[in-house]
Copies of this chain bind each other. A is one copy, B any other.
Amino acid sequence: VARTLPGERIIYFGDTARLPYGNKSRKTVTRLAVEALRFLEHFRIKAFVVACNSASALAMPVLAAEASVPVLGVVEAGARQAAAATRTKRVAVIGTRATVASRCYEQALAALAPGIEVASAACPLFVPLVEEGWTDHPVTARVAGEYLQPLRDFAPDTLILGCTHYPLLKGVIQTVMGDGVTLIDSGEAMALELQTRLADLECLAETGGGDHRYFVSDQAERFHDEARRFLGDAAPGSVSAVDQSDLPWFDRGAAFQEEQD
């Protein structure tokens, strides 16, 4: 988003005290996502991006109903890009257990372009493998071979990387699936979708961007180091920790915003 919309300012919240969301129930993921929305709404935001696939898969209806601004989910963005990319109308999806079980991509693709066939596979070890830094490790190749075998048999021409961590495994996944398969990075898809949406709403900023703010609920320092692996030079200069020890913790956003003003 920072690269695609250089005129915008991003306020980011990462719920590191309560992640991962991918193994949790719809009820719990929805509650946690609404709390994140409440926190970020203190910053006079003009749009709310759900950058986590599991939260997009499970919490979108409630978030859209509760939010005071437009809500964009990464699932819808990825599905739209996949629908545009596929020639053979065979799309594969990989994600966490929660994302795959929700069948959100199947529903989004059916709504966008009836007639697309979809196969999906949960890949629960991919996130821990990326967090271990084993993006190029033979174990990861082996795990990918096993998880993706049913999808190879399905023979799609497009595969949606339905989790924030999976783009770091693009190399391994492309090798297993073959060069003929287009990989859809739902983060990139989201950035384009956000650009279009803000332009439609006539509130896309051309200048004055940057000075992004990053908040996490635990381990700000470790987040800062790990962000380098995901973002390279675009990694945040500083990351603030938000205390969640009492409710409503998310109203701490107000104090952070005032400090800014």
A260 at the interface (CB under 8 A from B): no
Q: Which residues in B have their C-beta under 8 angstroms from that of A132?
A: 124-125
Total residues of chain A contacting the partner, CB 8 A: 27
A117-159 vs B, Cβ < 8 Å mask (1 yes, 0 no): 0000000110111011000001100110010000000000000
Q: Which residues in B have their C-beta under 8 angstroms from that of A129?
A: 125
Instruction: Report the stretch among A23-31, A52-60, A66-74, A173-181 that lies at the interface.
Output: A23-31
Cβ 8 A contact of A124, one of B27, B131, B217: B131
A219 at the interface (CB under 8 A from B): yes
Cβ 8 A contact of A25, one of B24, B143, B219, B247: B219
Contact, CB under 8 Å: B28 / A218: yes
Within 8 A of B (CB), among A88-142: 124-125, 127-129, 131-132, 138-139, 142
What's the Cα separation between A257 and B32 when bound, in Å?
A: 28
By a beta-carbon cutoff of 8 Å, the part of chain A in contact with chain B is 16-18, 23-25, 27-28, 31, 124-125, 127-129, 131-132, 138-139, 142-143, 146, 217-219, 245-247
